[in-house]
A and B are shown apart, each in its own frame.
Chain A
């Protein structure tokens, strides 16, 4: 008998569905749907009370309409009503509707939660199951708040039915994924581990999923699961498949559970107990052995299940990275799969080998498959597989095969799918740099990249080649010669013009001796491209020309003529016009000596990690960077400067010479996004000593930051494209901040990724949690991101908010300091004069007091000062200080680990327009930080 009998059902629903299916056009369908919606609405609004069956039927229709892609804006209440029905069928439809269509309508959530609560308490396993499913499907924070405490009890209660236990385990897992902070740890954790011994394999599978996730966060707590998982796995792997009855799938015993157990074991290092370790090794060997046995069935399901376990076992072997014998066997097994006729296996083999390539034991073994992988790149019909082959080539690359791999990737690039070109470009650039013994090879490779796939060469890549050429004098002559030759091509990519312009501007003199590349020839060659280029490139070329004036006095006249032409001096673009005017003037008034100083060769860039790596990581997610060492270095690069284009930030910061960013690499952003101070007033920049405009933080960020010390809401950052607003509230040591990103343009932002960057120090003391935002921000739209904040201990630095996105064709990168400061965790304390001075005296230890005397930056207005002290977070104590002109305040800084009492006193001196600020707290670092923050405010 079929489990679902087709005759049962709702006639009205079936009629409606067939009506829809008979519609001949989209319009007819919409008409039919609107008719139905009107009908349902009138039924719901009508005076007659609907019976359960009708409600169920209508809710079902609404659901169907929704699934067809139409908006449903009513019926929620009726669905909620169905939840409290005693009939299974009605309740079930109600839950289905809620699970598919729930929105965060807070009034309804309370009703829904109430119904769920009743069902959880009903002791009816079917109802409990429905309720748990609903919680898991919705998984909202409100639900976690309501039920995260209850579910563990159901999970470990002795009398809970197996099916309910299963659902409870996954439900808890879902809540933990969505809101980990709300799932309490408690004595249930140890009992959950023992579910690994449960009779019912379904319960064990669900429990294993749960434990795996919990153990990733808290390995110590779940350590005992290792030996239990090993013995469970061993029983499955070594059992004759009949032992497991229903959980045997096409002759493979409990494949899903085996996979889950092997995943769980990947949360831990190899077991320390030799007995457990031995048993696990036996299991892994047994799984590898089975792969060589003839299949028990020809069905693809059999081999799928068997190989699912095998791949997971290989992952575990790779994760442990301690048994050379197993690693080499794993590698050989994957080698066989590389040639398998099943595309899925080839795909997965390439993927697994990537991780194997980073193990020192198997790296060499992986390398022996290079020809097969290169062949896969050339012959696979499936882009997914080719992509994996690229990844593997990247992972197996080392000094011995770099030239071959880079050459193959370059030749693949000519025909590669557009979707993966940019990534291949990044990979080639990284490998070429990393394994370059001979930098002429490096320069050739990058120029080839630009030639083959210029459109996909991002700024990071060409910035980097310039950094390297500037830093290595052995390659400068070669680079100049090569770009000069490359520029001869009638059509060359704009990126090549940029690189060529920069390099000839710096090192054109090295090839000027050759009459074929005389200064004038160089200039004419570059200038022949000028009119075809975009504004930023033209700006760069103008800088090259002024550099030529210094390098080659003989072309000065020619260049001055060009600068003087109307198309330059009266150019509509203000940046180009300004450069032309200023360079022309500079070339006229400055003496040779001054010119030589101003236009000196760029000093070497400080050695720092390649920004290309960071870019690749962003593109692919951290999991794909397999090289451990690389991953480590990348992390440190992040800490150093965030994922800024390195050149932009280093060029000015690192160069004391006044020529700082004369060549405009840092100063001429590709779109008008750049804030005016960095692009305008170039000459002023050139002659001033302060490199402030080019610091990695957005200009003005420091100012804005200070404005938020005493307030919580406002606009943090704004340029032509983007506005960032903040709203935040703090209570004790917790806070929540909403960041609003507004797109000021009419064009979509793509790949919009805000990232919070905390230094290691800061991370230890300030915990920030946030969810990623939608990567697309429509023109004119605003998206919001919530940050949950906890102050663990007192801290000094501020987190940096880095925002990256694509606007039009260009990459945007903005960093601002996020104003989360220690004083936000202030709780004001009122106290009488006597108390105040008593405490003041108690804190008389020299380390506890920090004092600062400073000039007033704003008019000294008593009311404003009071408001600022209150905004700062402390209480303002009236009639405490004997001198009424002084201000005193008191409060407590709340952190998770401690509460720190703080007293402050501000003494204005109107005559001198000065202040003296004194802070006394029980902790030196706190006094110091609060004093810094507050003294900036007056």
Chain B
């Protein structure tokens, strides 16, 4: 496990590398020293304002990971119904859960979207039943209207895999 500073540094440098790339270039980037040398690659996809970046070693197929990112995004879209960036920011824990159904300890666990959604559904049922049980205030969420985001990039970091959530408004 890298130190927190290193993690943040990796995220910053990755964002820097990826965000300045043109469209039409390839989706693979040679790993710098930070991510463990030339055996590791950054594989990313760009959806509207969001970059999804995976860092993978040579045991994974490059195109396979590109597809995995697509599955991840499609799953997010299903789970959040028209997912937008705010969903990812306000539900960091849920995003982690979904990713955890696909990737485990940095390795590909499941690629079948229906299977993933079924698991997430089951978790939500559990959650609901527990919420009913506890009667905890579960139904309120502040209406977040203010889209005026500060300048620092938002990011989510999950072990080997980091997702960059830059500060731009819409997802689709």
Which A residues contact B (CB, under 8 angstroms)? 2-9, 11, 13-15, 17-18, 21-26, 29, 51-53, 60, 63-64, 66-69, 71, 87-89, 92-93, 96, 99-100, 102-103, 126, 132-133, 135-140, 163, 166-167, 170-171, 173-174, 201-202, 205-206, 209, 212-213, 246-247, 249, 255-256, 259, 263, 301, 304-305, 307-308, 311-312, 343-344, 346-348, 381-382, 384-385, 387, 620-621, 623-624, 751, 775-776
A17 and B25 contact, Cβ closer than 8 Å, known pairs A171-B105, A246-B112, A301-B67: no
A381 and B39 contact, Cβ closer than 8 Å, known pairs A4-B124, A53-B136, A93-B93: no
Q: Could you list 30 A-B pairs, sorted by A, with CB under 8 Å?
A: A3-B120, A5-B124, A7-B138, A11-B137, A18-B144, A21-B144, A29-B150, A51-B134, A60-B93, A67-B156, A69-B8, A69-B11, A88-B126, A89-B131, A96-B96, A100-B158, A167-B104, A174-B104, A202-B112, A205-B110, A209-B107, A249-B71, A255-B67, A256-B64, A311-B61, A348-B62, A381-B25, A621-B39, A751-B33, A775-B33
B contact residues around A624 at 8 Å (CB): 38
Within 8 Å by CB of B28, from A9, A53, A100, A344, lies A344
A11 touches B140 (CB 8 A): yes
Within 8 Å by CB of B63, from A69, A202, A213, A304, lies A304
In the bound complex, CA of A163 to CA of B64 (Å):
21
A contact residues around B108 at 8 Å (CB): 205, 209, 256
In the bound complex, CA of A5 to CA of B141 (Å):
11
Give chain B nearest CB distance to A488 CB in angstroms.
40
A contact residues around B144 at 8 Å (CB): 14, 18, 21
Give chain B nearest CB distance to A785 CB in angstroms.
16
Give chain A nearest CB distance to B63 CB in angstroms.
4
What are the 8 A-B residue pairs with the smallest beta carbon separation, nearest first? A136-B105, A308-B63, A2-B81, A382-B25, A174-B105, A3-B79, A343-B26, A347-B26
A contact residues around B79 at 8 Å (CB): 2-4
Q: Which of B89, B112, B154 has the most CB of A within 10 A?
A: B112
Which B residues contact A (CB, under 8 angstroms)? 1, 4, 8, 11, 21-22, 24-30, 33, 37-39, 58-59, 61-64, 66-68, 70-71, 78-81, 87, 89-94, 96-97, 100, 104-115, 117, 119-124, 126-128, 130-131, 134, 136-142, 144, 146, 148-152, 154-159
B contact residues around A263 at 8 Å (CB): 59, 61
A3 and B107 contact, Cβ closer than 8 Å, known pairs A92-B97, A381-B22, A751-B33: no
In the bound complex, CA of A381 to CA of B21 (Å):
10
Secondary structure dominating the interface of A: helix
B91 touches A4 (CB 8 A): yes
Nearest B residue to A15, CB-CB: B142
B contact residues around A102 at 8 Å (CB): 1
Give chain B nearest CB distance to A344 CB in angstroms.
5
B159 touches A347 (CB 8 A): no
B100 touches A133 (CB 8 A): yes
The count of A-to-B residue pairs whose CB atoms sit within 8 angstroms is: 240
A384 touches B124 (CB 8 A): no
A137 touches B159 (CB 8 A): yes
Q: Which of A132, A312, A384 has the most CB of B within 10 A?
A: A384
B contact residues around A209 at 8 Å (CB): 59, 107-108
Give chain A nearest CB distance to B97 CB in angstroms.
7
Nearest B residue to A99, CB-CB: B159
Known: A9-B141, A21-B89, A259-B64. 15 other contacts (CB 8 A): A4-B94, A7-B138, A8-B131, A8-B139, A18-B144, A53-B136, A63-B93, A67-B157, A92-B93, A96-B97, A136-B107, A263-B59, A308-B63, A312-B61, A621-B38
Q: Which of A22, A100, A135 has the most CB of B within 10 A?
A: A100
Give chain B nearest CB distance to A376 CB in angstroms.
12
B26 touches A249 (CB 8 A): no
A14 touches B90 (CB 8 A): yes
In the bound complex, CA of A69 to CA of B106 (Å):
21
A247 and B61 contact, Cβ closer than 8 Å, known pairs A29-B150, A89-B126, A301-B70: no
A contact residues around B136 at 8 Å (CB): 53
In the bound complex, CA of A21 to CA of B151 (Å):
10
Give chain A nearest CB distance to B67 CB in angstroms.
5
A9 touches B25 (CB 8 A): no
B contact residues around A7 at 8 Å (CB): 138-141
A contact residues around B124 at 8 Å (CB): 3-5, 8
In the bound complex, CA of A15 to CA of B141 (Å):
8
In the bound complex, CA of A132 to CA of B140 (Å):
33
A384 and B159 contact, Cβ closer than 8 Å, known pairs A24-B150, A67-B92: no
Nearest B residue to A619, CB-CB: B38
In the bound complex, CA of A21 to CA of B149 (Å):
6
B63 touches A25 (CB 8 A): no
B contact residues around A136 at 8 Å (CB): 104-105, 107
B contact residues around A87 at 8 Å (CB): 130, 134
A384 touches B28 (CB 8 A): yes
In the bound complex, CA of A71 to CA of B4 (Å):
7
In the bound complex, CA of A25 to CA of B152 (Å):
9
In the bound complex, CA of A301 to CA of B64 (Å):
10
In the bound complex, CA of A213 to CA of B59 (Å):
9
B contact residues around A304 at 8 Å (CB): 63, 66-67, 70
Nearest B residue to A97, CB-CB: B93
B contact residues around A139 at 8 Å (CB): 105
Give chain A nearest CB distance to B151 CB in angstroms.
8
Nearest B residue to A163, CB-CB: B119
Give chain B nearest CB distance to A99 CB in angstroms.
7
B contact residues around A11 at 8 Å (CB): 137, 140-142
In the bound complex, CA of A720 to CA of B144 (Å):
59
B26 touches A346 (CB 8 A): yes
Nearest B residue to A200, CB-CB: B115
In the bound complex, CA of A206 to CA of B78 (Å):
24
In the bound complex, CA of A269 to CA of B90 (Å):
51
A contact residues around B78 at 8 Å (CB): 2-3
In the bound complex, CA of A312 to CA of B60 (Å):
10
A247 touches B59 (CB 8 A): no
Nearest B residue to A347, CB-CB: B26
Give chain A nearest CB distance to B123 CB in angstroms.
7
B93 touches A259 (CB 8 A): no
A contact residues around B149 at 8 Å (CB): 21
In the bound complex, CA of A21 to CA of B86 (Å):
11
Nearest B residue to A20, CB-CB: B150
In the bound complex, CA of A623 to CA of B80 (Å):
42
A contact residues around B37 at 8 Å (CB): 621
